[in-house]
Chain A
Amino acid sequence: MTWDAFIYFAIAAALLWVAGAWAGWRRKAAWAYALTGAGIGVFLAFIIGLWIGLERPPLRTMGETRLWYSLFLPVVGLLVYGRWRYRWILAFSSLMAIVFVCVNILRPEIHDKAMMPALQSPWFVPHVVVYMFSYALFGAAAVASVWFLVTKKPEMAMADRLAYAGLAFLTLGMLFGALWAKQAWGHYWGWDPKETWAAATWLSYLLYIHYRLARPRSHKPALWLLLLGFILLQICWWGINYLPSAASSVHVYAS
């Protein structure tokens, strides 16, 4: 399978996700599970097809990592829905997933088939997949914190759980990256711009967790910290491509 087939899978998955979000809003839990789950299945089928078609995991370009992000957002939305039954969460997670699907349709960064030697490693898949899962959790945390700031009815237990789970996966992704870097580049940490911004992102969520422990009743600054973390995460993910300080990054593969 190639990117040519993406639009059909994307439309089918998006329709299922919208229908699932609608069912969630109307409090029809069984339909919400079934439809959102079916959308995830359709989207995953495309990723697997693309994987087979490319003869390598689709994890290398920005377009390919966006695919995983679009996949994990509804997964996280469904997990949060299953636990807390927020009627709005599926609408938000589906909307964000569809935004990323649209970005992929409008700006497909599709590249050559061969994978450069530095990326041919068993660390590649766990490193990127774990990161994308944590990005999806933090995306849900950011959406939730905006909602809480607007409605002024914060549910900090939910924000905390998303932040803890996100930080757990962010840490795994960073450490997998360090172990891989030792194998590929000779050192586990080189203050490459991508690594620097990854460290900044990691520290910001670490700050959130410690702020929550130190000032448990002060909710508003904590929610702003979640948004700060999400902004740093965006800089780390794609924003550094536009920073002069990152011109020499060894993490830029897609140019």
Chain B
Amino acid sequence: MIDWTLLAWPVNAWVLVAFAAALAIMTALRRRVRLLAWLGGRASALWAIGFALAATVALGLVPQSRSAAGSWWQHLISSWPFVLVWVWLAVSLGLATIYGTIARVAASGEHGNGRRRLRTTVFVLNHLGLLLALVAATLGSADMERLRMAVGQSRLGAEPQSVAWDANGYGRELDIAIELVDFKINENQQADVRTPRKFKAEVKITALSPHAPSISEQTVEVNRPASMHGWKVYLIGYEAELGEDTRYCEFELVRDPWLPWVYAGIGMMLAGAMGLFVLATPKKEKQ
């Protein structure tokens, strides 16, 4: 089984450099080594996607364990077969992106037209976008932090909180402190059932860094996290039986330094998907 924490910064940065270097070397040698040409071709893509599909279906069928305990098949994501399929997919996708872009740009230089240029653009957006999102998400997962923090209501006398807890129960002193200024519930009255419709916490977040101290007042709701110094702060709970008089709110704090790269990949894929639709719609003069 793979221990993903081993990939934590700066190891993941070195893995990324090694991956990029490997792709460059394979591209340089692709005319000499037949395997390298094959790896970036359609046959390899078929096998890699096929195995990834089989692996994903297995993941959907076999109940997975949420705790660290259990056999390898209860942690399929971290098992060696999955990682090998993933590596094949990433290498195949990386080489296909490079080979395909080189071939298409060369071809459009000779006899380029609008439709062909659109095809090249859509190819690059879809393949490079997916590559970027996949690689950044996987390598970045080791640097992602998800912590929990319970903050007492300051109107009930609680102090701002700057210690958060990870999934293993270890506490950490953060570079921000959160004060819970107020907590409100908008209830939706319906017959005799009262279901909370919206709840929101007014928080004051203080950056504790001596270099750039700053204070920001924000509202946190479900679907609307607050942000400060790379942290996103999510409201996840309160004492339901006490309602607005809850003594504390529970927050989840998430930091994901690789997120901008994943978003860049997702943005490219969004544009690529629209391009795919344009290419799928019939062209009149071809009739």
A contact residues vs B (CB 8 Å cutoff)? 83, 112-115, 117-118, 120-121, 160-161, 164-165, 167-169, 171-172, 175, 178-180, 182-189, 191, 193, 196-197, 199-200, 203-204, 206-207, 210-211, 213-214, 232, 235, 240, 243-248
Contact = CB atoms under 8 A, between A and B. Distances in A.
Interface in B231-261: 232, 234, 252, 254, 256, 259
B101 to A, nearest CB: 16
Interface stretch (B2-10, B55-63, B155-163): B55-63
B277 A186 contact: no
A214 B42 contact: yes
Contacts of A245: 60-64
Given A196-B59, A243-B61, A189 B222 contact: no
A85 to B, nearest CB: 11
Given A207-B53, A246-B60, 7 more contacts: A112-B193, A117-B199, A172-B270, A186-B254, A196-B60, A203-B52, A248-B66
A168 B53 contact: no
10 contacts: A117-B198, A171-B273, A175-B266, A187-B144, A188-B262, A191-B64, A193-B60, A197-B60, A210-B45, A246-B60
Interface stretch (B23-31, B107-115, B203-211, B278-286): B278-286
Given A161-B282, A165-B281, A191-B77, A172 B273 contact: yes
Given A112-B193, A235-B60, A210 B42 contact: yes
Interface string B189-206: 010010111110000000
A203 B50 CA distance: 8
Contacts of A240: 60
Contact of A120 (B49, B52, B222): B222
Interface of B: 42-43, 45-46, 49-50, 52-53, 56-57, 59-64, 66, 77, 137, 144, 146, 188, 190, 193, 195-199, 221-225, 232, 234, 252, 254, 256, 259, 262, 266, 269-270, 272-274, 276-277, 279-282
A175 B269 contact: yes
B49 A165 contact: no
Given A184-B223, A186-B225, A168 B49 contact: no
A210 B272 CA distance: 16
Contacts of A247: 63
A214 B43 contact: yes
A184 B222 contact: yes
Nearest to A83: B282
Contact of B53 (A112, A165, A185, A200): A200
Nearest to A172: B273
A77 to B, nearest CB: 16
B42 A213 contact: yes
B280 A113 contact: no
Contacts of B196: 117
Given A117-B197, A168-B277, A191-B77, A206 B49 contact: yes
Given A121-B223, A199-B56, A186 B63 contact: no
B273 to A, nearest CB: 4
A118 B254 contact: no
B276 A214 contact: no
Contacts of A169: 273, 277
A188 B234 CA distance: 14
Contacts of A200: 53, 56-57, 60
B261 to A, nearest CB: 12
B137 to A, nearest CB: 7
Contacts of B62: 245
Greatest chain A CB density within 10 A among B190, B198, B222, B281 is at B222
Given A114-B188, A120-B198, A203-B56, A189 B137 contact: yes
A82 to B, nearest CB: 9
Contacts of A118: 222-223
B252 A186 contact: yes
Nearest to A196: B60
A186 B49 contact: no
Given A164-B280, A175-B270, A183-B224, A112 B195 contact: yes
Contacts of B225: 183, 186
A211 B273 contact: no
Contacts of A182: 259
A185 B223 CA distance: 8
Given A120-B198, A161-B280, A245-B63, A207 B221 contact: no
Contacts of B280: 160-161, 164-165, 168
A121 to B, nearest CB: 4
Contacts of B64: 191, 245
Among B56, B193, B254, B259, which residue has the most Cβ atoms of chain A within 10 A?
B56
A194 to B, nearest CB: 9
A134 to B, nearest CB: 10
